[in-house]
Structure 1
Amino acid sequence: MTTRWSRRGFLAASSGTALALGMHTTADALPLTSAEISESAQTAEAADEFATLRAKWRTLILGEGFSPTAEPFTTRLTELGTTASQLQSTMAPTTGSLWPDLVYADPEPDTDQESYGYSGNLNSSYNRLSTLAQAYSQAGTGLTGDSGLRDDILAGLDHLYSEVYNENQTRYGNWYSWQIGAPQALLDVCVLMYDQLSAAQLANYVNAVDHFVPDSAVSSYSGTSTGANRVDLCRVLALRGVVGASSAKIALARDALSPVFPYVSSGDGLYTDGSFVQHTTVPYTGSYGSVLLGGLGMLFALLAGSTWEVTDSGRQIVFDAVENAWAPFLYNGLVMDGVSGRAISRGLSASDAKQIQQNDHLRGHPILASIVLLGQGASSTENTRWRGLVKGWMQRDYYSPPMSDPSLGLTSLARLKGVQDNTTVSAIAEPTGHRLFTNMSRATHRRPGWAASISMADRRITYYETGNGENLHGWHTGSGMLYWWGDTFCNGQYSDAFWPTVDPYRLPGITASRKVLADAAGGDWGASLPDVNWVGGTTDGQRAAIGQYLKGLQSTLLAKKSWFCLDDSIVCLGAGIKCTDGTAVESTVENRNLGPTGSTAFTVDGTVKSTTYPWSETLTGATWAHIGGHGGYVFPGGATVKALRDARDGTWSAINKGGATTVLNRKYLTMYVDHGTDPTAATYAYLVMPGATASQTQTRAAATSWLTILANTDSQQGVSVPSLGFTGVNFWFGGTVGALTASNPCCVMINEKSDGTAVICVSDPMRMQTSLTLTWNRAVSSVTSKPSTVTSATTGSALTLTFGDLSTTAGVTQKITVKLG
């Protein structure tokens, strides 16, 4: 006999589907028709899928695969419980605030607030509720399932809804708090507390989210809805769909991700050369890029295997970017500051009760965890290799081991712990080679034992980013700053309170006027761009020639700066340095952070200098210098260099309005070339040899024929290193340098090899040349390979290459291989 189900009976057998969907039942319901049974079954199946997604997101928030009784998880869970108890005890709902120190009531006049201010306090209030919900949901916190904590969480949600985050509220302050920060935390709490919330509460909260994050928030890929921000908005929409059982919202979120995937040629997003830009003009691989990578990893994982799985083939671009865009800026666990924008000023927050100082390592570790998560949706080959890369980065991070990172969440710790403990995963060594990121005016140079990066600025890439009262003194970080790290030394060079204590006018590698600049000079959000075109270079993937036409920020300073990146050193040249600011102009050879003690030895031409603080000396005719435990510096032909030991005080609040006021002191050893006041044609030349011993540095200085400076003028800069078969020339204008003649501005690098071949690399950093003729006065018998941009090649006693239109090549290297005569 066939059983006829009543609506009540069917829904009761559907595991609480009626409650989940807000459906009503009656005792005297009529029997269902076959069509109704089918429809109800589909509805129940959909409800089950929403429950599955809630469970998946819960796991993504809380983590999995770890024991709460094993370290470091036991300690971290205990800390979570302690923090939650403190927050619970201080929560005091009243008009205008949920916590006394987070007032959100009054609309603020400054519409650019994000990290502080009233709208930021709203964001922080929801984040605190999220912390409470995690303590309630996690095992081992001491508050797991605590009814009092549950009641306080629900009361806090209702308070924020009734007071400020509801469908009748007009937003104020920064858009981010209303569209990303607050709703993300709110929806996370809704998932964690789902079974404790009534249908009316859930309806209220999703209505509020719908009000502040309508579908139109992702209708156009522009403004604040691009790159990492778009991914964050999609996370809000997807979770709103999960919590509110809306298939349409989840589908919208999935589809709205698609514009993030394709490569871009301007503005925000990923570029084919591995650049990642956010806020239109800011290199942001290490900050917003981290958000994008982590957000995509979570959304891919959430929707995998569901009705709304992300199947857009463009997602492979994101997978490719792991090694094309992120890995080049990860070094032994840290992510390089040159691609972290204003985040470099977020060292220690005034409101950080645990006083965790953020730095390049702590920004790098979440990226490692995101790569592990993203690998779950990639190919098995990619997943295996990425886990090997992550394991290597973890093992080599002696300065700040990821598993001891106090700022890393439990989920990230669990993912990294899984890689660390997996004996089938083999650690992969740091790669060597050069990467030139022409679309964000950055370069990385990686050699056995060390790595370096160069930060520049042009009419597309800002000097620096400030905003929200952050990074107030980052003015010269794009003026040719040269960072470098060692594999087993100097990994904490920029990590240990560097940014609040360093002299911002003497950043390593830069040329700058001593003209005093105001906090946030140049404007917020990367608004200030130098009016220059010639910034970029050329590379064969191992060596490089790079140049920057520098115009000072709010200064009359002009300079031509070049870097030639070689096997064990970087040759640095400066020329055409002029300024009429009425102040001194300096080129900083080095500014090493020697920590709180600063007793490191400093040797110049064999003489050990004073270790007292303060100390300064003009080094006249110096040919080499060495900083113990760091590296060596060579001055071809001798140079007059000023050196000083400086004990500098600083606070995070001086460079970030939300920073701590604690006074920090660090010792610095600085070398700089003083070009004097208002120079007219100043120059400099030096080599940086990371990790070199004093003996190696002295030997290089004594080998006066090792390096030939072919030109160092306002028109051209070039060098040759015969033992390496290397020649590199930056033609700021057409002309002849050594054996090379160029008809127009360009960058040229030649590597002659022992097999009788040579690779010639040419680029148009200006992106303006519609024709170019390059002649190399060297016997060449044949051209074995060339790009389509080479329209003719004449060989014989000399090589003449004619290029067509290079203006559309985005400054990318054009590589020609020849057989030498």
Structure 2
Amino acid sequence: MRISRRALLSLFPTAPLLAAALPPAGAAAAAPAGHARLLANTVAVFAGTPESNARPEAAAKLAAIDATAGTRLAALDGAGQGELFRGLPLGTSDSNLNASFQYLYEIALATRASGGPESGLHGNATVRRRVIDGLSWLHDTYYGDPARGYYGNWFNWEIGISSHVSRTLVLLADDLAATRPDLAPTYVATMDAYLRNGENGDVDLDSRFHTGANLADITMNRVLQGAVLGDDARVRKAVADQLTVYRTIDPYQLRHGVTDGFYADGSFIQHASVAYTGSYGTALLARVVQTLKIFEGTDHLQDRDLAGVVRDWVVNGFAPLIFEGWMMDIVRGRAVSRTTTGYAAAATVVEAVTDLSAHMAGADATALKGYVKFLKETSAAAPDPAGFVSPVTVVRHADILADASVPAADLNAESRNVAFNAMDKTVHRRPGYAFALARSSTRVSKYEYMNGENLMPWFQGDGAHYLYLSGQDQTRAFGVDYYTAVSPYRLAGVTAPVETRRTIPELYGTLWYDNPEAGFTSSSEAQNTYVYFPRGTNAFSGGASLGAYGAAGLVQADDAAYAAKQAGTLPDDFVAYRNAEATKSWFMFDDEIVVLAAGVGDPAGRAVVTTIDTRIADPSDDIDVTGELRDGTAWSGTGTAPLAWLRYANAAQGTAVGYVLLDGPRPTVALDTVTRSRRVVRAANPDTPVSKKVFSLSVERPAAALAHALVPHATEERLRTYADGPVSVLANGVRLQAVRHTGLGLTAANTFARGTHRAGRLAIDGPASVLLRESRDGTTDIAVADPTTLRHTVSVTLRGRTLRADAVDDGVRVSPVPGGTRVDVDTWHSYGRSFTARLRP
């Protein structure tokens, strides 16, 4: 018989633990001088300084702090039985308990934020006493007995509540020392007792819960607790634990088995296998920049270039994923179903970069400040500094914007292709647009569902793409309304079987599959592996970058849950869905993205739909759909037709996308008005109806081969040129897919099987991704990658005249062979990265 987690917790005696953890009363008074600096820095981070708060730019932030506290005090006054704050009944809701602690923190913050409105909150000893009384009552009644607590979400008990409490203890440290010296050590002991996923009430670096952004949060809480108690050992242990977050993840030499964190190619993973730069990644960025600020002037981070490490995260990890102030949807996990937008996610980056710039010097500082200005100028919804955490940051942001010596500049080159192969994502940027591609594999999850969020995510990692157009408000094109209005089976770029799937709540009546006997509880490893974020069963997912050009490939397959169900390792009542099959490539140039698909179908005999693109528009937008048939006849409207090309234009938003149909069955054009509630994608969303015009271009049947090009901002005249245009398909099968772009002198190929595959001048020992560019001056550039991450060596032969190596990456060897030149690349343990070589006659 299995014992429930809560019952198991009740077996641990808490009284001895609490007694052993309690330092002597008044310990805070004995804090070393460094701890006093930590406390002062922390107050400055959250409440500002007299200097920052005297600036007019901080007034809106201070007013917001004050207004929030006033609202919380009114709720405190109106509380009923079993509540500390009106509307937050306690005893069974961990979310309400967490919110109650948050409200106390927000009141305490207003009492420390000087320079705000004349509300009487700043320095108000009576209000601070009410906060202390509230802390005491919550501990005595609902929090202080860990055997009774720990229901609901583990995050609230181990991170959320501790964050609010730790900050409140810092803000009220002097008051607590004077009136309740026992309360801080009592709370710290209880917080240790709730750290159930740790070891002996402390961080456990071997725990899957103590990684990445979560570890940064936990360790920062423990730093603040140590500073309040004057416990130097606690602070130093927390610092040492947090420093592990800054290490680049080496997938071949994992430390503590942790895959969460930043990789060499800029990828960020959380939850072991979820691409998460835009949510957990932004939380981590915010926390580590706060770390730099809180430890300033102490000896804890001396001789460490942590600011330089974080700067590299921003340049290589965050900046490629932000387009005109919008954080791309491919790295936001389940957060894509929330009503908070990609602009809000990017605002967190702006806030962090603003503060990070103060820890840099010279050109690095200028570049970061210029990026802050650039995002302000290009975003359709620039961040409101009043929403920043710190008044100090608000003032620093204002100073950057006012500094005429700093030019606004992107951290990205105008043209950039980034293969985030460690998280199975690709970003292709050009002036006027950005193309983002979501892949998955045996290494990276297909999607993330959790806690009733992202209810219909099934195909989000199966080659779903997002084409962001310059000058557009992306909230009208993507984000929660895109997922609400667009069928989950018809996301742009997806091949899906025609069937109806049910969400987790529909299947099981709860927010997860509940079967403790089989190892399925809300946060179990089985739940993560098969329900929350299942990985794929395909090894081929990746691609190569050559300068600003790219190739990516994916072999679409089932997820881990379906494979396990077929193997008989999951319970009979566990529901798993079979996927369609397809082999796909994306070749990314300047004016177009060429997409090939082969072997599109379903072994089970179901109908299959491949969606070339889907776009949404407001109901009042004037949508114009025009095209030309293969015989040259003009065409417009909707329906199925033998199209040579199609153009979608939205005059209201000033956007247009062209589609060149290079090969395949007749596509179907649809333009419908859809109205759905945002609650269909997230249970906690307001029941707000969303009405959108939904345009789709799709192929409604299996196909041996499909080929098309996406052409951003295309005119009809431009689309007509593709009849004799620069793009030609060299091969499109399940073993080899390749194209040639004559205008750029580029040949791009993905080989999906073993053996030698020929494409133009290339003879490729597959599987591999290869880009070849031949310049008029005789220079030949080549990029090679192993999308399987499993090969020791990839060999490519360039047929024709013999070439010599001019510049090559480490691990690349160039040698003459009869009839050409051979390039051998040592790809073992490279995790899919690109190797390049420049060759000359």
The two structures have a TM-score, normalised by structure 1, of 0.85
Residue among 121, 146, 153 paired with 1:144: 121
Structure 2 counterpart SS, 1:774: strand
1:180 equivalent to 2:159? Answer yes
Aligned twin of 1:32 = none
What does residue 753 of structure 1 align with?
A: 775
Please list every run of 5 or more consecutive structure 1 residues that lacks an aligned counterpart in the other structure. Answer: 1-19, 25-42, 107-117, 348-357, 611-615
1:190 aligns with 2:169: yes
**Contact 1:758–1:819 (8 Å) recurs in 2:** yes
Q: Could you say if the C-alpha distance between residues 378 and 407 of structure 1 is closer, same or farther in structure 2, counting changes exceeding 3 Å?
A: closer
Q: Deviations over 1:264-317 (max 9, x none)?
A: 133211111111101100011111111111111111111122132354456643
What is the aligned counterpart of 2:657 among 631, 644, 648?
631
Q: Given residue 569 of structure 1, which amino acid in structure 2 is its aligned partner? A: E
Aligned to 2:564: none
Post-superposition Cα deviations, 1:740-781, rounded to whole Å, max 9, x if no partner, equal 222331111101112211111111111222344422223233
The question of 1:479 aligning with 2:501 is answered no
Please show how residues 568-607 of structure 1 align to structure 2 within 5 Å. Answer: 568-605=591-628
- 1:432-465: CA deviation from partner (whole Å, max 9, x where unpaired): 2111111110111111222111110000100001
Report if aligned partners of 2:769, 2:787 keep a CA contact under 8 Å in 1: yes
Q: CA deviation at 1:215?
A: 6.5
Q: Which residue of 1 aligns with 2:89?
A: 103
1:695 is displaced (CA, Å) by 3.0
Who is 1:510 aligned against?
494
1:422 matched to 2:406:
no
Aligned partners of 1:620 and 1:640 also within 8 Å: yes
Q: How far, CA to CA, are the matches of 1:589 and 1:123 in structure 2?
A: 45
Residues 640 and 68 of structure 1, relative CA distance in 2, 3 Å threshold: farther
Structure 1 pair 387/585, CA: closer, same or farther in 2 (3 Å)?
same
Supply the AA of the counterpart residue of 1:232.
D
Q: Is the 8 A contact 1:362 1:407 kept in 2?
A: no
Indicate how the Cα distance of structure 1 residues 70 and 772 shifts in structure 2: closer, same or farther if over 3 A, else same: closer
Trace 1:779-798 onto structure 2 (pairs within 5 A): 779-791=801-813, 793-795=815-817, 797-798=819-820
Rate the CA distance shift 1:23–1:662 in 2: closer, same or farther, 3 A.
closer
Residue 156 of structure 1 is matched in structure 2 by: 134
1:300-339 matched pairs, under 5 angstroms: 300-309=292-301, 311-312=303-304, 316-339=308-331
Deviation at 1:49, TM superposition (A): 3.6
- CA distance in structure 2 between the partners assigned to 1:101 and 1:578 by the alignment: 53
Look up the SS of the partner of 1:710 in the other structure.
Answer: strand
**In the superposition, relative to structure 1, how do residues 802 and 595 fare at CA in structure 2: closer, same or farther (>3 Å)?**
same
Higher Rg of the two aligned structures: 1
CA–CA distance in structure 1, aligned partners of residues 29 and 362 of structure 2? 34
Name the residue aligned to 1:776. 798
Q: State the AA in 2 paired with 1:806.
A: T
Q: In structure 2, how many angstroms separate the alpha carbons of the residues matched to 1:391 and 1:807?
A: 41
Question: Post-superposition shift, 1:21?
Answer: 9.3
Q: Which amino acid aligns with 2:409?
A: I
What is the Cα-based RMSD across aligned positions, in Å?
A: 2.8
Q: Give structure 2 stretches of 5+ with no counterpart.
A: 1-22, 252-258, 508-512, 514-526, 560-576
Candidates 522, 546, 555, aligned match of 1:540:
546
| Structure-2 residue corresponding to 1:709 | 729
| Residue of structure 1 equivalent to 2:221 | 236
Q: Secondary structure at the match of 1:180?
A: helix
Identify if the C-alpha distance between structure 1 residues 314 and 192 changes in structure 2 by more than 3 Å, giving closer, same or farther.
Answer: closer
Distance 2:303 2:677 in 1: 48
Counterpart of 1:643, as a letter, is: V
Instruction: Provide the rounded CA distance (Å) in 1 between the counterparts of 2:164 and 2:634.
Output: 59
CA deviation digits over 1:714-743, x for unaligned, max 9? 111110011210001111123223332223
CA contact (8 A) 2:366 2:406 kept: yes
Q: Does the Cα contact within 8 Å between 2:418 and 2:428 map onto a contact in 1?
A: yes
Q: Secondary structure at the match of 1:144?
A: coil
Which residue of the partner structure matches residue 9 of structure 2? none
Q: CA deviation at 1:712?
A: 0.9
For 1:716-735, list aligned pairs within 5 A.
716-733=736-753, 734=755, 735=757
Q: CA deviation at 1:391?
A: 1.2
Secondary structure of 1:127's counterpart equals: helix
Q: Secondary structure at the match of 1:171?
A: coil
Residue range with higher mean Cα deviation, 135-144 or 666-675: 135-144
Residues 745 and 774, structure 2, Cα contact 8 Å, conserved in 1: yes
1:203 is matched with: 185
Q: Which residue of 1 aligns with 2:378?
A: 396
Structure-2 separation of matches of 1:221 and 1:383: 36
Q: Counterpart in 1 of 2:286?
A: 294
What's the offset of the Cα at 1:667? 1.9
- Judging changes above 3 Å, is the alpha-carbon distance between structure 1 residues 77 and 788 closer, same or farther for their aligned structure 2 residues? closer
Q: 1:119 aligns with which of 94, 107, 110?
A: 94
Between 1:53-62 and 1:687-696, the stretch displaced more is: 687-696
- Give a deviation string over 1:70-95, Cα, whole Å, max 9, x none: 46x54554444444333322235566
Please name the residue that 1:800 is paired with.
822
Inter-CA distance 457–237: structure 2 relative to 1 (3 Å threshold): same
Q: What TM-score does the superposition give when structure 2 sets the normalisation length?
A: 0.83
The offset of 1:575, in angstroms, is 0.8
Cα 1:78–1:619 shift into 2, 3 Å: farther
Please state how far the C-alpha of 1:405 moved relative to its aligned partner: 7.6
Pick closer, same or farther for the CA change 1:503–1:345 going to 2, 3 Å.
Answer: same
Deviates further, 725-734 or 492-501: 492-501
Counterpart CA distance in 2 for 1:514 and 1:665 is: 24
Aligned equivalents of 1:195, 1:346: Cα separation in 2: 39
State how far apart, in whole Å, the 2-side matches of 1:200 and 1:528 are. Answer: 46
Q: Residue 551 of structure 1: which of 545, 557, 561 is its match?
A: 557
Amino acid aligned to 2:820:
A
SS in 1 for 2:266: coil
- Structure 1 window deviating more from structure 2 (138-147 vs 806-815): it is 138-147
Aligned to 1:7: none
Q: Is 1:694 matched with 2:716?
A: yes
Count of matched residue positions in the alignment of Structure 1 and Structure 2: 748
Give 1:693 deviation, angstroms.
3.0
Q: Structure 1's 664 and 439: CA in aligned 2 closer, same or farther, altered over 3 A?
A: same
Cross-structure match for 1:519? 503
